[in-house]
Amino acid sequence: MELLSNYFRELRSAALDGWDRFWFTPAPAHTLGLVRILAGAMMFYTHLVWTLDLDAFFGSQSWLDHAAVAALQADSSAWSPLWLCEPRVVLPAVHLTALIVFACLSLGIWTKTSSILSFVLVVSYAHRAPLAMFGLDQINALLALYLAIGPAGDALSLDHWRARHWSVVEPQAPPSVGANISIRLIQLHLCVIYLFAGLSKLQGPAWWNGSALWYAFANLEYQSLDMTWTAHHPWLINLMSHTVLVWEISYVALVWPRLTRPLVLAMAVPLHMGIALCLGMSTFGLVMLIANVAFVDPALIASMVRWRQSEPRQIRMARVPAPHSRPTTQVRIRR
Amino acid sequence: MTNLPSSAAPQVWTVRAKRCVSALLFLHLAAVIAAPMAVEPASILSRSVWSVFQPYLDVTYLNHGYRFFAPEPGPSHLIRYEMELSGGRKLQGYFPDARTHRPRLLYHRYFMLSEHLGALTDVTPPPVALDACSRSFGRHLLQMHSGQRVRLYLVRHLLPHPDAFVKGQKLDDPALYREKLLGEYSLADSRMDTVRR
């Protein structure tokens, strides 16, 4: 009995310690900063494309009128402020504002405000035309949400750059719990996505008999690169189908250990680039890769940024050796 | 995660703050998992848990099943329309159309309109949203082309078996297309009545 109670005491203690370490260890904001740059750019492009047919999807005579969207969202709490923006002048103005907000998010200008507004805008567009949305918008929304939660402008942002250059003391943003929580949420959400994407495939015979990818390649409406030659190599289709399935289901377990993480992330590149190139969904493939950046060590990103910043100056220094009487030059190099 | 050297010290959170945030994180993660768990086939428990979180998931646009190409890649759908214009002229078209809808992301938006409508036709009994969306598509087309009457068809494009393809069947073989009338709509009166189903 005592053995059992000791076990549960130890289990409780380990679980609480693990939870505390997982969520509340301060982390540098470089990973979050890189996700912000890329996700903000994707949100900007996603909504820039709406500009080409803005009135047809969001105007007063759009593909989906009030009655259609009300029927689609009959049991839902979803609502979009874009319903208030239908007049011909208001909608373009709101849309232009949205594009500016997404650009600000990507560049890291007024990042806290632009990240919160980005989330509100992404969700507003999605709720206004739900039938036109797909995985890209789902990932855009979750990235916008988690970027709004954390200090996404603490690194790799114009906000941070301005703070550095206007302050007498160089402000190095300290590692923060907020940055860690944001990144952890993206990581866990990604694990949920891959796990359910994989598990739901187990309901289909085509993923078991290995022909599933043929049916993806043979879909003319999706097809952007002709991969139908694979029909002559069934073993290749089988191998690719099984690899996708195993990778998706095992992602949740193998992305965490230090040794397997690089392999799992490396596998994400051909898988998502395959979707991008072969199935005509470059934006979806790219946004999934952007979400995977959340698993990249901030120290690696920071060292790459430092290398990029210092390399040209070091070259310049090598050509024209700086005299010892000019210490300011050396200070600049260290930056 | 690896900590970087920094001149400033990181903030320390109080136990109370950690408890409050932990509770919120737990609820959020429960909601995130509840959404895909509640997609059919789902247990009563999964649906019950999901119903608790549904308002939150709806508002934050996190209410998704993440069934990408699952349970398996299926046929795709297009919408074909035949329209009567003023003076008895006729107009035919379909969407998505890769020739006119560019760039690819815009094409995909049109593709999702027809794909999601196709998915609604698989639900029994047909949901109210199917008729509402078809009617809305019809109204939009009539207003866009100043038409009098439009007939909408859902075109299901089936996928050939790999063996059939190897034996010579083309991906756009007419035998792979199935058509179903969605409705005939008119702008003759402002109520957009269905003329015939």
Give residue A88's pLDDT: 78
Taking residues B79-98, what's their average pLDDT? 94
User: Contact B72/A206, CB-based, under 8 Å?
Assistant: yes
A203 has a pLDDT exceeding 80: yes
Give percent above pLDDT 90 in chain B: 83
User: Contact A142/B62, CB-based, under 8 Å?
Assistant: yes
At A38, the amino acid letter reads L
Taking residues B154-182, what's their average pLDDT? 97
**Residue spans per domain, chain A:** 28-172, 176-296, 299-334
User: Contact B165/A74, CB-based, under 8 Å?
Assistant: no
Give residue A173's pLDDT: 75
Interface contacts A/B by beta carbons within 8 Å: 237
User: Contact A193/B66, CB-based, under 8 Å?
Assistant: yes
User: Contact B66/A63, CB-based, under 8 Å?
Assistant: no
| Of A134 and B123, the one with more pLDDT | A134
User: Contact A174/B70, CB-based, under 8 Å?
Assistant: no
ipTM confidence: 0.91
Top residue of B50, B53, B108, B139 to mutate, by most chain A CBs within 10 Å, is B108
Average pLDDT for chain A: 90
Chain B hits for A58, CB-CB cut-off 8 Å, are: none
Neighbour count for residue A247 (Cβ, 10 Å): 18
Give residue A323's pLDDT: 40
Cβ proximity of A57 and A50 under 8 Å: yes
Can you list the alpha helix ranges (DSSP code H) found in chain A? Answer: 2-24, 30-50, 54-58, 66-72, 90-107, 111-128, 135-149, 158-166, 177-201, 205-208, 212-217, 234-254, 261-278, 282-292, 298-319, 327-334
Of B6, B70, B96, the CB nearest to A174: B6
Distance CA A47, CA A26 (A): 34
The model's pLDDT over A52-77, given as tens digits with 9 standing for 90+, comes to 999 999 998 999 999 999 999 998 99
Distance from CA of B87 to the nearest CA of A (A): 24
Give residue A172's pLDDT: 66
B3 has a pLDDT exceeding 90: no
DSSP secondary structure, chain B, as one string: -PPPP-SSPPP---HHHHHHHHHHHHHHHHHHHHHHHTSSS--HHHHHHHHHHHHHHHHTT------TT-S----EEEEEEEEEEGGG-EEEEEES-TTTS-SHHHHHHHHHHHHHHHHHHTSSSPPHHHHHHHHHHHHHHHHHHTEEEEEEEEEEE----HHHHHTT--TT-GGGEEEEEEEEEE-SSTT--EEE-
Closest by Cα among B86, B43, B91, B34 to B63 = B34
pLDDT band at residue B124 using 50, 70 and 90 as cut-offs: confident
pLDDT band at residue B10 using 50, 70 and 90 as cut-offs: low
Q: Would strands B177-186 and B194-196 be described as parallel, antiparallel, or unpaired?
A: antiparallel
A328 has a pLDDT exceeding 90: no
Whether the CB of A243 is below 8 Å from some CB of chain B: the reply is: no
CA angle in degrees (0–180, nearest 5) for B34-B39-B44: 70
User: Contact B58/A214, CB-based, under 8 Å?
Assistant: no
Distance from CA of B89 to the nearest CA of A (A): 23
Distance CA A193, CA A309 (A): 36
CA angle in degrees (0–180, nearest 5) for A323-A327-A331: 125
Of A145, A192, A213, the CB nearest to B36: A192
Give residue B191's pLDDT: 52
Top residue of B59, B69, B146, B167 to mutate, by most chain A CBs within 10 Å, is B69
Closest by Cα among A149, A150, A106, A101 to A122 = A101
Q: In what order do the strands lie in the sheet with B90-95?
A: B90-95, B76-85, B147-157, B177-186, B194-196
Cβ proximity of A13 and A162 under 8 Å: no
The model's pLDDT over A184-196, given as tens digits with 9 standing for 90+, comes to 999 999 999 999 9
Chain B hits for A302, CB-CB cut-off 8 Å, are: 4
Interface of A with B in 160-179 (CB under 8 A): 170-177
A87 has a pLDDT exceeding 80: no
Distance from CA of A320 to the nearest CA of B (A): 31
Closest Cα in chain B to A296: B1
Cβ proximity of A44 and A106 under 8 Å: yes
User: Contact B132/A67, CB-based, under 8 Å?
Assistant: yes
Closest by Cα among A238, A239, A214, A240 to A227 = A214
Give percent above pLDDT 70 in chain B: 90
Taking residues B66-73, what's their average pLDDT? 94
pLDDT band at residue A213 using 50, 70 and 90 as cut-offs: very high
User: Contact A28/B3, CB-based, under 8 Å?
Assistant: yes
Distance from CA of A247 to the nearest CA of B (A): 14
Give residue A327's pLDDT: 37
Those residues with Cβ within 8 angstroms of residue B65's Cβ, 6 or more apart along the chain or in another chain:
A196, A200, B35, B36, B38, B39
What residues pair up with B178 in beta bridges, in sequence order? Answer: B156
Chain B hits for A26, CB-CB cut-off 8 Å, are: 3, 10-11
Of A61, A123, A281, the CB nearest to B108: A281
A312 has a pLDDT exceeding 80: no
Give residue A176's pLDDT: 93
pLDDT-wise least confident of A24-38, A297-311, B78-92, B162-176: A297-311
pLDDT band at residue A171 using 50, 70 and 90 as cut-offs: low
Give residue B8's pLDDT: 59
B180 has a pLDDT exceeding 50: yes
Chain A hits for B143, CB-CB cut-off 8 Å, are: 61
B7 has a pLDDT exceeding 60: no
User: Contact B18/A196, CB-based, under 8 Å?
Assistant: no
Taking residues B165-191, what's their average pLDDT? 89
Taking residues A255-260, what's their average pLDDT? 97
What residues pair up with B80 in beta bridges, in sequence order? Answer: B94, B153
Place of tokens 């709490």: A77
Render the burial of B35-49: b for 16+ CB within 10 Å, e for the rest: bbbbbeebeeebeeb
Of A50, A141, A181, the CB nearest to B62: A141
Interface of A with B in 40-79 (CB under 8 A): 45-46, 49-50, 52-53, 56-57, 61-65, 67-68, 70-74, 76-78
Closest Cα in chain A to B61: A123
At A325, the amino acid letter reads S
Distance from CA of A7 to the nearest CA of B (A): 24
Chain A hits for B64, CB-CB cut-off 8 Å, are: 138
